Structure 1
Amino acid sequence: MANSESQELDLNESVSVERQAQTPLPGGKKGGWITFPFVIGSFMGLALTGGGLTANLMVYLIQEIHVKSIDATQISNVVSGCVNFFPIVGAIIADSSLGCFSVVLISSCITLLGMTLLNLTATLDPLRPLTCERESSFCKLPSKLQLAVLYGGIAVVSIGIGGWHLTMATVGANQFDKHEDQEIFFNWYFFTFYTSAVISSTAIVYIQDNVSWAWGFGICVVSSLIGSTILLLGKRFFHRDKPQSSPFIGLARVVVASIKKRKVLLSSRIEDYYYGRDHGKAKTVDVTPSKSFRFLNGAALKTEGDLTDEEGSIAKPWRLCTIQQVEDFKNLMRIFPLWSSSIFLSTPIAILLSLTILQALTMDVHLGPHFKIPASSILVLVLITTSIFLTLIDHLLCPTWQKLTRHSPTPLQQIGLGHVLNILSMVVSALVESKRLRVAHNLANSNIVPMLAVWLFPQLKLAGIGEAFHFPGQVSLYYQEFPASLRNTATAMVSMVIGIAFYLSTALIDLVRRVTAWLPDDMNRGRLDNVYWTVVVIGVLNFGYYLVCAKLYKYQNNVDHEQVVNTEC
């Protein structure tokens, strides 16, 4: 196996890294491509489990537990929110105390426990209500015990999924020293993510609906067990960084210390600033604190009484910080505008996915004379498209870009292209809906429009292509630009964006229903096209905001983005 510091991994050989990783790294060094099959194999098993739960949870609650439709929708929304918000909690724990590998391992075990509880509700008769006809008034409601086991299992598995969901990306990226290897890993990581989502949304959902819920959830339990086992088998190969202390406390100290010293006159001399107790022992080059956000530099300015001895021990921790802590805080402030622009990048996607189902319900969903597409399954096209284009980007588009420009595409360029494709997706959605409404208005008293649902494919494909650019681009950017002590938090920030976008899209749709007549119960009497055009305007404005942020932003940890490169990305 090639050592990540001594050999380049050719892109054309990246598909066979599993076969290469058979022996430990020379010299006992851990990390590198030998860990790749363990990370991807473990993630595949866990991702199948997560998809098998979230893709069909609402149907299970309604059909098997006799939960009312609105209540089932709310529970599903809460689960989606937890899955996308809890990575922040897991990241904080990883960065502060346990480390990302331990968080992933513990979370995978929690996922297995929660999925086992849910499988028991589908397997054991005492843990679920008696079967009855759907919407029958004689359906027996679940008992308190049954609800306790059900909701307990859902809560546990949601916490577990949130724990490893994006922290696993940090585990994998931490195994590589070279930025090119990290980018290749991220592409494979997201390819695995979307492939798993397609499999769970089709094969596992089919088994749940047509064979039995016990078999469907049972497969999820087995896949979770396999994922956890693969992670354990590769434990001895992983390079693991153990955090020394909570970086968040250090960041909080920067704020407090800068406020306390807001009236202190700043110095231009390097020796007047605090670089850490072991600064004199390390062979480092002193740098003057950056001029941006200059008011924060006072937090690292040494004043009388700040130090206890000549060795540099801090007497008042909330009055003095290191230059590194100050610069880390500045990095977060610099990247926050870019992160905020991603919220309205993901919100249109969430709106598109929910409203496309409403469109499909009013259209002809046949493919050929015998095959009929379930309305909710049409969204799988986004996942399939994203999976395909992640591979094309890695093998075709990225090498072509380098041949034309002699540079690697930067994360900001990838995200920007994702913005454009998202806007185009919403434009196509508006045009298709306008055509659907014209056809509907020419009919009398018909809820189904004689228009094939394949008309919806272009907008979903564009959304999928856009996601293949901006989603990995965001993870790569945050992982690269966040302070090294906050790498787990960096990848979790992408998940947080999705969670915010999920709830924001719900709020926007509710607002539209309250103030306009564009979204009635009968979609043929509404103006869904106006909703799409509104989102297009929001997307264009947000893209302009992104361009300003990207233009003003300077890479803090620049690696080969400004240099001519000869290797494939």
Structure 2
Amino acid sequence: MADLVSGDIEVQHSVDPSRKRGGWITFPFIIVTLLGLSITSFGVILNLIVFLIEEFNIKSIAAAQISNIFNGCLAMLPVVAAILADSFFGDIPVILASTFISLLGIFLLTLIATLDYLRPRPCETGSILCQSPSQFQLGILYAVLALVTTGTAGTRVTLASGGANQYEKPKDQGTFFNCYFLTVNTGAIISATAIVYTQDNASWKLGFGLCVAANLISFIVFMSGKRLYKHNKPMGSPFTRLVRVLVAATMKRKAVISSRDEDYYHHGLGEKDKTILVVASKSFRFFNRAALKTQGESGDTIKNKWRLCSVQEVEDFKAVLRLLPLWLSIIFVSIPVAVQSSLMVLQALVTDRLLSPHFKVSAGSIQVIAIIFSCIFIIMNNWLVYPMYHKLTNKVMTPLQKIGMGHVFTILSMAISAVVEAKRLKTVENEHLMSVLWLFPPLVILGISEAFQLPANTELFYGEFPESLRNTATSLTSLVIGITFYLSTALIDLIRRTTAWLPDDINHGRVDNVYWVLVIGGVLNFSYFLVCSWFYSYRIIKDDDQEQDPKDVII
């Protein structure tokens, strides 16, 4: 008997031809590769502002903007890698090529830190006599950063989806995603402490050299496990299928929508596939016309794929369409985080960073507080918070509920940052530097926010997107971060043009006012998110094979 799936819920089954490969035997290879690449990328990201200021004599706000652009590229390019993996090459070849490109980029960055003629002459920070970098030096620097960005971006998402593809059970995939984020954060902690400390107190050459070693180990380890990996088969460009749905529905816009399932085209229903039947949902009914069989169109003899699509393709298109409003809200909640990541480094530079007579906190390491608490709360959420919520309510906390919690903690972090900065400005007036420890509380709250949001974003997109768009779905979280870095750069530039809040010397500015603006924007965006969440219906949500009420989507 056919298994009819009605409404907005559908069932998908896939048979993996590579059953002998994959599984937990691949876990050590993928995790070690991820750890080495995380150390490499964060070894560049976390201290890039300081590197630009101290080694290239670039002004502080300009360095923050360059860092935001770099981080934006680093977060947006994974979408390109995901499309290449989904459509043409598969995960494993993209990971191998990207790891090598990253190795080449970090090696050349080490050369820049080694050879004096590739950098301007050193001078005291803030001096008006500092020599600006030449066009040649900037060109080499940007080219090398482009290589590092391309290599890191190519592995960031494909390692996540490629690792999850090694497992057949959703529970194992969920466990892998938790391990993925913990490993990324572990690499960030190592970089923010050992690598950044080496760069600041020994030499940039040695610090970047350690990143080269980590990247090389990653490349060798991943190559060693190549025969064990389950390779996903590229399914052609999924975006072509999405566009076909839009074109077909538009061409048949005058057709009358039928309520009979036999009037719609179900592609590829052979004898083995007759147990599965996806019924056209009632939402976005206009696009059902794309699968409606009109005169002269029969199931197995399509002459024009741009006029007739399968019901599955239509439902895949709808799934993407439903997520767009939520995706926009996730972009807007990430803008304050991107602004804060830059301003916190600048704030740390003008605080008292001595924790003892022999230990001074590196400004680039300040963000490790958020990363550490993100790790702690990812573990706490999965072992304590989520099980407790399930026990008390007898319901599973949905991805949107987790993201909503992240919204609340992000707003709280910005408010605390504003209060702390106001206090710091008063200490400047008294000619007494505030301790860097005052910057820790907002970073702790930010870490809690990311512990809720980042895994939940990936879980939402990976679970709700069509199977043919799994890599692309995983990359959307990274794409959000990339877009927000560009938007935050534009926001900083707008604030600098219209106010006096962000001068090169922030001791004469009002960074606290910037944070209050972010608080107001966060509250408005959270209201928008709640509305979108209320109207959103999940395709299918399961926990231990128990279906969740699709309406349980908001906090």
Q: Please say whether Structure 1 and Structure 2 have the same fold, judged by a TM-score greater than 0.5.
A: yes
Shift of 1:439: 4.9
The equivalent position to 1:403 in structure 2, one of 375, 385, 391, is 391
- 2:520 is equivalent to residue 542 of structure 1: no
Conserved? CA contact 2:265–2:293, under 8 Å: yes
Aligned-partner residue type, residue 474 of structure 1: N
Cα gap change, 1:263 to 1:180, in 2 (>3 Å): same
Seen in structure 2, the aligned counterparts of structure 1 residues 354 and 123 have a Cα distance that, compared at 3 Å, is closer
Q: Structure 1 residues 274 and 489, CA, compared in 2 at 3 Å: closer, same or farther?
A: same
Contact 1:430 1:533 in 2 (8 A): yes
Q: In the TM superposition, what whole-angstrom CA distance separates every residue of 1:244-281 from its partner, at most 9, and x where no partner exists?
A: 32111000101111111111112122121111144465
| More displaced 10-residue stretch of structure 1: 532-541 or 405-414 | 405-414
Please say if 1:505 is aligned against 2:493: no
Match among 510, 532, 546 for residue 563 of structure 1 = 546
Task: Please say if residues 541 and 547 of structure 2, whose CA atoms lie closer than 8 Å, have aligned partners that are also in contact.
Answer: no
Equivalent of 2:26 in 19, 35, 41:
35
How far residue 58 of structure 1 moved from its aligned partner, in angstroms, is: 4.4
Match of 1:324 in 2: 312
- Which residues in structure 2 correspond to 1:280-299 (within 5 Å)? 282-299=273-290
Once structures 1 and 2 are overlaid, which stretch shifts more, 393-402 or 40-49?
Answer: 393-402
Residue 501 of structure 1: how far off its partner (Å): 1.2
The question of whether the paired residues in 1 share the 8 Å contact of 2:197 and 2:362 is answered with no
Distance 1:143 1:558, change over 3 A: closer
> How far apart, CA to CA, are the structure 1 residues paired with 2:379 and 2:22?
24
* Shift in alpha-carbon separation, 1:461–1:64, aligned structure 2, 3 A: closer
Amino acid corresponding to residue 295 of structure 2 in structure 1: E
Distance in 2 (alpha carbons) for counterparts of 1:519 and 1:62: 17
CA distance in 1, matches of 2:113, 2:510: 41
Q: Which residue of 1 aligns with 2:368?
A: 380
Q: Partner of 1:109 in structure 2?
A: 100
* Coordinate RMSD, CA, aligned: 2.8
Q: CA deviation at 1:345?
A: 1.4
Q: CA deviation at 1:422?
A: 1.0
Partner of 1:492: 475
- Checking the alignment, whether the CA contact within 8 Å between 2:278 and 2:312 is kept in structure 1 is no
Corresponding position of 1:212? 203
Q: Return closer, same or farther for 1:242/1:373 CA change in 2, 3 Å cut-off.
A: same
Q: Does 1:455 align with 2:438?
A: yes
Distance in 2 separating the partners of 1:437 and 1:59: 22
Give me the whole-angstrom Cα distance separating, in 2, the residues matched to 1:305 and 1:553.
37
Within 2, Cα distance between the matches of 1:464 and 1:195?
13
Equivalent residue number for residue 516 of structure 1: 499
Higher mean Cα deviation, 507-516 or 431-440?
431-440
Partner AA of 1:543 in structure 2: F
Q: Is the 8 A contact 1:422 1:463 kept in 2?
A: yes
Among 113, 118, 130, which residue is 1:128 paired with?
118
**Cα distance between partner residues in 1 of 2:121 and 2:369:** 33
Give the counterpart of 1:247 among 229, 238, 241: 238
Structure-to-structure mapping, 1:17-416, within 5 angstroms: 29-61=20-52, 63-64=54-55, 75-123=66-114, 128=118, 133=123, 144=136, 150-279=141-270, 282-307=273-298, 312-416=300-404
Deviation at 1:296, TM superposition (A): 0.4
Q: 1:348 to 1:132 in 2, by over 3 A?
A: closer
Deviation per residue, 1:170-217 (Å, 9 max, x gap): 111112222222222111111111111121122112223333333322
Give the secondary-structure state (helix, strand or coil) at the position aligned to 1:120: helix
CA contact (8 A) 1:110 1:157 kept: yes
Counterpart code for 1:476: E
Report the count of equivalent residues: 529
Q: Sequence identity, in percent?
A: 51
Residues 52 and 220 in structure 1, CA contact (< 8 A), matched pair in contact too: yes
Q: Is this contact kept in 1: 2:46–2:365, CA < 8 A?
A: no
| Counterpart residue number, 2:459 | 476
CA contact (8 A) 2:76 2:479 kept: yes
Distance across 1 between alignment mates of 2:440 and 2:347: 12
Match of 1:465 in 2: 448
Instruction: Report the Cα distance in structure 1 between the residues aligned to 2:237 and 2:470, rounded to whole angstroms.
Output: 13
Q: Is the 8 A contact 2:57 2:120 kept in 1?
A: no
Structure 1 residue 525 displacement after superposition: 5.1
Greater Cα shift, 293-302 or 211-220: 211-220
2:310 corresponds to which letter in structure 1?
T
Letter in structure 2 aligned against 1:217: F
> CA separation in 2, counterparts of 1:129 and 1:430?
36
- Seen in structure 2, the aligned counterparts of structure 1 residues 224 and 559 have a Cα distance that, compared at 3 Å, is same
For the residue of structure 1 that corresponds to 2:367, the secondary structure is helix
Q: Give 1:334's aligned amino acid.
A: R
Within 1, Cα distance between the matches of 2:242 and 2:476? 17
User: Counterpart of 1:402 in structure 2: which amino acid?
Assistant: H
Instruction: Give unmatched runs, 5+ long, in structure 2.
Output: 1-17, 549-555
1:429 equivalent among 410, 413, 417: 417
Change (3 A) 1:549 1:219: same
Q: State the shift of 1:380 in Å.
A: 1.8
Aligned pair in 2 of structure 1 residues 374, 129: CA closer, same or farther (>3 Å)? Answer: closer
Q: 1:287 to 1:81 in 2, by over 3 A?
A: closer
Distance 1:223 1:59 in 2: 22
For residue 242 of structure 1, give the secondary structure of its aligned residue in structure 2.
coil
Residue range with higher mean Cα deviation, 478-487 or 451-460: 451-460
Please give the alpha-carbon distance, in whole angstroms, between the structure 1 residues aligned to 2:363 and 2:440. Answer: 12
2:281 aligned partner, one-letter code: S
Match of 1:554 in 2: 537
- Residue 438 of structure 1 and its aligned partner are, at CA, apart by 4.8
1:114–1:156 Cα contact (<8 Å) kept: yes
